[in-house]
Structure 1
Amino acid sequence: MNTSWTNPIVEQRADPHLSRVDGRYWFTASVPSYDAIEIRAADSIAGLAIAPPTVIWRKHDSGPMSWHVWAPELHRIDGRWFVYFAAAERDDIWKLRMYVLECEGADPLTDNWIERGQIATPEEGFSLDATPFEHNGKRFLCWAQKSPPTESNLYIAELANPWTLKTEPVVITRPDLAWERIGFCVNEGPALLKRNGKVFIAYSAAATDANYCMGLLWADENADLLDPKSWHKSPTPVFMTDESVSQFGPGHNSFTTTPDGKTDLLVYHARNYRDIVGDPLNDPNRHARVQAFGWRGDGFPDFGTPVADGPYST
């Protein structure tokens, strides 16, 4: 099946999360004002560009969840819809914590959403980018958290329910490689991919400018995912800036497929210019993009390089 769309698929939407559920594509991302969570749905990826966004939740006026609403992810778990996101406080804008919303009905675009509250971690601290996944009959959560305060590491734990940890978190990667420590020491934005007997976690590293890039972790599908020794890390980035096509700082990705399920798709944000005036977080032009990727003979994903803006076909 040949499918086509135009990149970027949605402009000024960073940290894109795109999934395919019941024959429809569901998209959410950080909005430039960092003050709300919106969802859009379409029968095709191309349709997302014109699909009207529905705001399902807005930040509080004060206290928790009142500032820096970041990186929402929409997941359906046991027939229920949940949104995972991070938010800070108006009076403490870097007090980022992870939160969960649950939809009370079957339609996330029209039914009411309720707050399930914060995902509490044993070491209270700057945390974000929670992503849940199921493996071998268990549900896990992977997220980024600062510990020590200057580094953002990736943690994993088993879940008791969609908003409560069941086990002690363990660190599965720290930003210990040079390319993960440019500007900031960061491992964040985990995204799960299972294939060829392995559990892969793509993640993003470095500062949110042209140095931003993707790394890759993997574990054997039968390994104990809560054992840090089960996880291995690529020594080099697996997806990064390509100046030749004006794609800078690609990252904070998610995964989906074409409608027939035969082609894997990488969803990510990037800018189409290198130079940023002021704080990169205040530059709204991280646009959401989608492109196909393949698999190497050794069973590992081959993400290739970012494609240029414009028409794209798989």
Structure 2
Amino acid sequence: MAISLSKPIIEQRADPWVYKHTDGMYYFTASVPEYDRIEVRRSDSLLGLRDAEPVVVWRRHESGPLSANIWAPEIHYLEGKWYIYFAAARTSETKEGLFDHRIYVLENAAANPLTGEWAEKGQVRTRWETFALDATTFEHRGTRYLVWAQKDPDIAGNSNLYLAKMANPWTLEGEQVMLSTPEFDWEIIGFRVNEGPAVLKHAGKIGIAFSASATDANYCMGYLEAPEDADLFDPQSWVKSSQPVFRTDESIGLYGPGHNSFTEADGEAVMVFHARTYKEIAGDPLYDPNRHTFMAKLRWKPDGSPNFGSLELL
């Protein structure tokens, strides 16, 4: 892999999401180690996010469905308002309760999302009341879609990737279809996981990067790709990489890379992702705080697909 290790852009921020708005500002949010709040920061440059002041825009509830393990927020600007998608569980004395996640949405009408009031729009209702997380949204040919990870009660494993149309920024419309389930060896180490989808459009194709396996050094990224004129609700339209496109590289000290987002700077595509700088973890990897945010320039293959093997870390 033709990249060299450098310092993280932002330390102890996992599941990083960067959104570049029409005002030219970059907005950043991510999971914090305490899993108890949602922060947003902004900067007029991508690397300026490193030193930008984080603003707490929402905190977990004291009890109930929004009271534990606040994970993987994403900020979007849709239909003239700001929205944050995130996953939350309920405070519980059992491990199962702490991981009873559902997807929720916040809304803010202010021009600057670091100000104004964030209103809770409630849960995104999917086909099942099961473990669900990592929602992301994209628009294609006039239709808005949601992609997310969820447990199907009839499929062995932890989570698969699903796609549905949206009636509004917090409501699904019509059927949901499964795009990917863990099937390859690299997707089922520790846990059978497909999660953290991130959408990338380029050269007539729609891609979805996703993460797989346990959140230790086995965590890695795969990639789904479909032609832009394909039926996105036909699972056969999507081709999945048979091998990870991005994984641990001990030679440069980068461990468990994944849960990425895409943005751009100076006309070039940039991938934002988290990784650790060491392999051995004491206890549950989820409670090791040292998943750091990295950024890398993304290059392209001759066919227009992303070349994850030629990343250049910023």
Q: Which amino acid aligns with 2:115?
A: T
Q: CA deviation at 1:306?
A: 6.5
Matched, 1:122 2:127: yes
Q: Compute the TM-score of the two structures, normalised by the length of structure 2.
A: 0.94
CA RMSD of aligned residues (A): 1.2
Q: Which amino acid aligns with 2:31?
A: S
> Which residue does the alignment assign to 1:34?
35
Distance 1:306 1:285, change over 3 A: farther
1:120-146 Cα distance to aligned partner (Å, 9 max, x none): 112110000000110010000000001
| Residue identity (%) | 56
Give 5+ residue unaligned stretches, structure 2.
1-5
Alignment of 1:178-197 (within 5 A): 178-197=185-204
1:16-73 Cα distance to aligned partner (Å, 9 max, x none): 0012112111100000000000000011122111111000000000001100000000
Q: Which amino acid aligns with 2:287?
A: N
- CA contact under 8 A between 1:143 and 1:189: conserved in structure 2? yes
- CA contact under 8 A between 2:298 and 2:310: conserved in structure 1? no
> Which residue does the alignment assign to 1:109?
114
- CA contact under 8 A between 1:38 and 1:53: conserved in structure 2? yes
Q: Which of 103, 109, 122 is 1:98 aligned to?
A: 103
> Which residue does the alignment assign to 2:11?
11
Q: CA deviation at 1:179?
A: 0.4
- CA contact under 8 A between 2:20 and 2:26: conserved in structure 1? yes
Look up the SS of the partner of 1:134 in the other structure.
strand
Runs of 4+ in 1 over 3 A off after TM superposition: 305-308
Structure 1 distance, partners of 2:248, 2:132, is 26
Structure 2 distance, partners of 1:214, 1:79, is 33
Q: Which amino acid aligns with 1:130?
A: A
> Which residue does the alignment assign to 1:284?
289
Structure 1 distance, partners of 2:188, 2:215, is 11
Q: Which of 125, 131, 137 is 1:132 aligned to?
A: 137
> Which residue does the alignment assign to 1:244?
251
Alignment of 1:1-314 (within 5 A): 7-21=7-21, 22-91=23-92, 92-147=97-152, 148=155, 150-258=157-265, 260=266, 262-304=267-309, 312=314
- CA contact under 8 A between 2:30 and 2:73: conserved in structure 1? yes
Look up the SS of the partner of 1:185 in the other structure.
coil
Look up the SS of the partner of 2:48 in the other structure.
helix
Q: Which amino acid aligns with 2:147?
A: C
Q: CA deviation at 1:304?
A: 2.0
Q: CA deviation at 1:104?
A: 2.7
Q: Which amino acid aligns with 2:150?
A: Q
Structure 2 distance, partners of 1:166, 1:38, is 29
Look up the SS of the partner of 1:47 in the other structure.
helix
Look up the SS of the partner of 1:202 in the other structure.
strand
Q: Which amino acid aligns with 1:164?
A: T
Structure 1 distance, partners of 2:45, 2:308, is 22
Aligned pairs, number: 302
1:154-191 Cα distance to aligned partner (Å, 9 max, x none): 00000000110101111000000110001110000000
Q: CA deviation at 1:207?
A: 0.5
Give 5+ residue unaligned stretches, structure 1.
1-5
Q: CA deviation at 1:224?
A: 1.3
Q: CA deviation at 1:110?
A: 1.0
